[in-house]
Amino acid sequence: MLKSIAILSGLVFALPAIANTVPDDIRSELSGPEKIGEVKVRFLGIRMYDAALFTKGGDAFRWTRPFALELTYARSFARERLIKASVAELERIEGEQPDHQAVATKLKSCFRTVRASDRFVAIPDGRNLVRFYFNGTPTCALRHPGIRERLLGIWLSDTARDRRLSRLLRGLD
């Protein structure tokens, strides 16, 4: 369980990163995207993934404005582990909800097993739709009530497990 949580939240610490490149999948979805926050996430000194947040024109992050969240993995994780960790974080944030299993089922078509250097990009389109890309290729459009804030809030909300990570991603620190 602890390892699953670390996959998503970067429990130990997140360090600011430097590069400001914009991948093609993000550029195709957002007009004039600019990176506003980036972190390298480690758990017990082991690099797990890098996370970056892009907004249109580098605007301040707001849930209602266009944005893209990118996760680039530094190690391998099975798809089922990513799904389980995501649902565990939803339960931590929201408490047990009757639709968590439905979210998990929908994530099966979106998530893939990852290896070092694989990347996921999540781009919301309104409150109820998040489009996912895996290594630049669209994988799914996840439709579910409030999914933008619920799922992406794992990284981007004030209730994120690692508040510092969230603030760095949102360009607040």
pLDDT tens string 44-86: 889 999 999 999 999 999 999 999 999 999 999 999 999 999 9
- pLDDT category at 12 given cuts 50, 70, 90 is very low
Surface-to-core class of residue 39, CB atoms within 10 Å of its CB (0-12 exposed, 13-18 middle, 19+ buried): buried
Please give the model's pTM, rounded to 2 decimal places.
Answer: 0.87
Question: What's the rounded mean pLDDT across residues 98-124?
Answer: 97
